[in-house]
Amino acid sequence: MNHYFKFTKIAMRRILALAFLLWSISLSGQKFPVDTIQQNGPLTNRVNLLFLPDGYTQDELNKFRTDVNTFINTFVGTPPFSFYRHYFNFYTINVPSNESGANHPGNATDVSEPQHPVLVTDNYFKSTFDYYKIHRLLFATNIGGVYKVAAENFPQYDQIVILVNSPYYGGSGGDYATASTHTSSAEVTLHELGHSFARLADEYYAGDSYAGEKVNMTQETDPTKVRWKNWIGTDGVGIYQHCCGGNSALWYRPHQNCKMRTLNAPFCPVCTQTIIERIHQLVSPIDAYEPIEATLTAVNDAITFRINPIPIIPNTLKVSWELNGQQVGDSSDVLQVEVSDFSPGINDIIVNIEDTTALLRVDNHNTIHFKSVHWEVNKKTSGTYDVKSRLNEYEILIYPNPAHDKIHVRIDQHIDIPIELQLTDMDGTIINRADVKPGEETTIEISHTTPGLYFLRFYNKNYCIGLRKIIIE
């Protein structure tokens, strides 16, 4: 369920900023206790889930913590979140309400009211059923209050979840997710996070007002053009009509049994892929690395380089090391370099790390994410080594794949140096090459290339930072 705002994220944030300003003018800052429920890593490199209570009195805040823990147990056991459980931190802000429960005006038009007792409740975030006169649409209407409390008490949050202390079924998923404590609460919350965290559409037809082109909703019926074309024919993915009448017949979903359609179902492959991509956007798989910047003396005639990756379960992280352009290590978090392997002057050590999960359709997936650490080691005649380092992050768009006559490549505009592309065959012979400038699209001509399997390699200053399989048909 969405709470049906049609604003873009940017527009929404502007509105919220205005709401926050108005609240700041009218109210003094309010501080509430912040509890760490589970911290798996630094705030700066995790998805920080922040839980807010509504309709929990001061005496019921222990129940709130129990309800949060119940959801977290479901969350870390549900794919794909279970695979990336170490990529999340969980926190609460203990905001008491004067009264228990949620508002229920009893004016919904989609059911025969009252579905449950009509109630006016003095809850902090003004959560109410019957939002937009849809009974199960439970929404915290005090938007300014939500963001003010979050900003003043835990500004490092990435995603807000509001749990409403009501036994009746309901929820919503807009910029923040909302769910009641109904027996299906955990499943509802996961569904709503699909909206809020990954911007997924409902895979049931929610109505004409909510229909639109999204990752998992389209009017395209051509299997070669549909957004999820790389998944068609796998694990039940197809092009399924939403319903059978009116405008619903114009819209299509990728799966018949997805959590974005039915509770207690898994996330379909398309939604799973989208969730993982969102995690990749927010979290680097490298928590730390060493050395950072120092003048070192070799210990036992070797210098040790180390990264601290965030584990994925099962492990799909691929790690590779290079010294002066030559691969020297694979699948290890630690590299020891003998002093005899360093040349006098400047040496380059690069470690590349990439999530190779099959849940992203690695060989056919359009957008790829490379992370690397680059050490510059200056070997001096004095026997010391000056070390400088930097973390590099690349987001590269490749399409189409499989390709026929052209391959298009675009690199994240935040990169400040050109990347050299090399298209090679299986033996490493260079078929074509090109430079890609940040924010610009480059086209590689392949119309006269023999069909088969090739590699597209990416080089930064003559050092390979990653590669992708390319199928030429």
Q: For residue 434, which amino acid is it?
A: A
Residue 74, SS3 per DSSP? helix
Closest CA to 165 of 102, 242, 256: 102
Task: State the Cα–Cα distance between residues 92 and 89, nearest whole angstrom.
Answer: 11
> Tokens 């009264």 label which residue?
99
For residue 139, the model assigns a pLDDT of 98
Rounded to a whole number of angstroms, the distance between the first and last alpha carbons of the chain is 42
If one compares 471 and 89, the residue with the highest pLDDT of the two is: 89
Q: What is the pLDDT of residue 20?
A: 46
CA distances from residue 49 to 55, 182, 451, 457 in whole angstroms, order as listed: 20, 21, 47, 36
The confidence score (pLDDT) of residue 86 equals 98
Whether the Cβ atoms of residue 289 and residue 307 lie closer than 8 Å to each other: yes
Q: What would the two tokens of residue 404 be?
A: 């026929």
Rounded to whole angstroms, the Cα distance separating 208 from 142 reads 26
pLDDT band of 220, cuts 50, 70, 90 = very high
- Which stretch of 68-72, 161-165, 437-441 has the lowest confidence by average pLDDT? 437-441
Binning pLDDT at 50, 70 and 90, where does residue 366 land? Answer: low
CA dihedral sign, ordered 133, 137, 143, 146 = positive
| Nearest CA-CA partner of 86 in 254, 313, 354 | 313
> In the chain, pLDDT over 70 holds for what percent of residues?
90
Model confidence at 364, pLDDT cuts 50, 70, 90, reads: low
Higher pLDDT, 229 or 193: 193
pLDDT tens-digit map of 298-340: 888 999 999 999 999 999 999 999 998 788 988 799 999 999 9
- Per-residue pLDDT tens over the stretch 281-302: 899 999 999 999 999 998 889 9
Tell me, what's the pLDDT at 371? 84
Higher pLDDT, 127 or 456: 127
Question: E strands of 224-325, at which residues?
Answer: 240-241, 252-253, 286-290, 294-297, 302-309, 317-323
Of the ranges 27-31, 38-42, 124-128, 276-280, which one carries the lowest mean pLDDT score? 27-31
Lookup result for tokens 């005090």: 142
- Which ranges of 232-355 would DSSP assign to H, the alpha helix? 269-282
Instruction: Provide mean pLDDT across the span 338-362.
Output: 89
The CA-based dihedral angle spanning residues 212, 215, 219, 223, taken in that order and rounded to the nearest 10 degrees: 180
Instruction: Report whether pLDDT(12) > 60.
Output: no
pLDDT band at 7 (very low <50, low <70, confident <90, very high): very low
Strands 252-253, 441-445: parallel, antiparallel or unpaired by DSSP? Answer: unpaired
Cis peptide before 53 (omega within 30 of 0): no
* Over residues 396-402, mean pLDDT: 81
- pLDDT for the residue 250: 95
Q: Which domains does the chain have, with CATH numbers?
A: 9-196 (3.40.390.10), 208-280 (no CATH), 284-472 (2.60.40.3080)
pLDDT at 470: 84
CA gap 95, 175 in Å, rounded? 20
Residue 27: the pLDDT is 46
List, in order, residues 6 or more apart from 70 with CB less than 8 Å away. 185, 186
Tell me the pTM: 0.84
Among the listed residues 39, 83, 75, the one whose alpha carbon sits nearest the alpha carbon of residue 163: 75
94-136 tens-digit pLDDT: 999 999 999 999 999 999 999 999 999 999 999 999 999 999 9
CA angle, 333 then 337 then 339, to 5°? 160
Average pLDDT score, the chain: 89
pLDDT reported for residue 416: 65
